[in-house]
Amino acid sequence: MKKEDRKYDLEERSFLFAKNVRAFVKNLPRSITSIEDTKQLVRSSGSIGANYIEANESLSKKDFLLRIRIARKEAKESKYWLRLIDTNTDGLEKRRAELEQEATELMMILSSIMRKYV
């Protein structure tokens, strides 16, 4: 697999994660806490891919690592918000757990990239 293909795969994977989070939150019951938690989740989930794209456009190794660190931080934050969200049905809980697992995997991938470049 060429470097460009790997870059695209992670860009696409982070994009799909953000899209799936948005689809998930549309099905959540509305309450004051869920509204605030989902706002934070939507922001952090979208920021993973946005920062990864910025990293790939960086002008220096230092800038690249900074953007990768931020993307990893946003993946970690997404996992946190997913853990906080209260679901009231088994179907939603299963989907929440799947999204939490994807956030964990994205975090691990970004950590691996960081270790490679440090």
pLDDT along the chain (118 residues), means of 10: 59 97 94 93 98 96 97 98 91 95 98 92
DSSP state of 98: H
Residue 89 sits in which domain range?
3-117
**Residue 104: what pLDDT?**
98
* Count: domains in the chain: 1
Reduced to 3 states, what is the DSSP secondary structure of residue 87? coil
pTM of the model: 0.90
Provide, for the chain, the percentages of residues in helix, strand and coil under a 3-state DSSP scheme, each rounded to the nearest 5: 85, 0, 15
The predicted pLDDT at position 61 comes to 95
Residue 45: give its domain's CATH number.
Answer: 1.20.1440.60
Instruction: Give one DSSP letter per residue of 3-45, joined into a string.
Output: HHHHHHHHHHHHHHHHHHHHHHHHTSPP-HHHHHHHHHHHHHH
Position 10: which residue type? Answer: L
pLDDT of residue 90: 85
**Residues of 16-49 as b/e, b for ≥16 C-beta within 10 angstroms?**
ebbeebeebbeebeeeeebeebbeebbebbbbbb
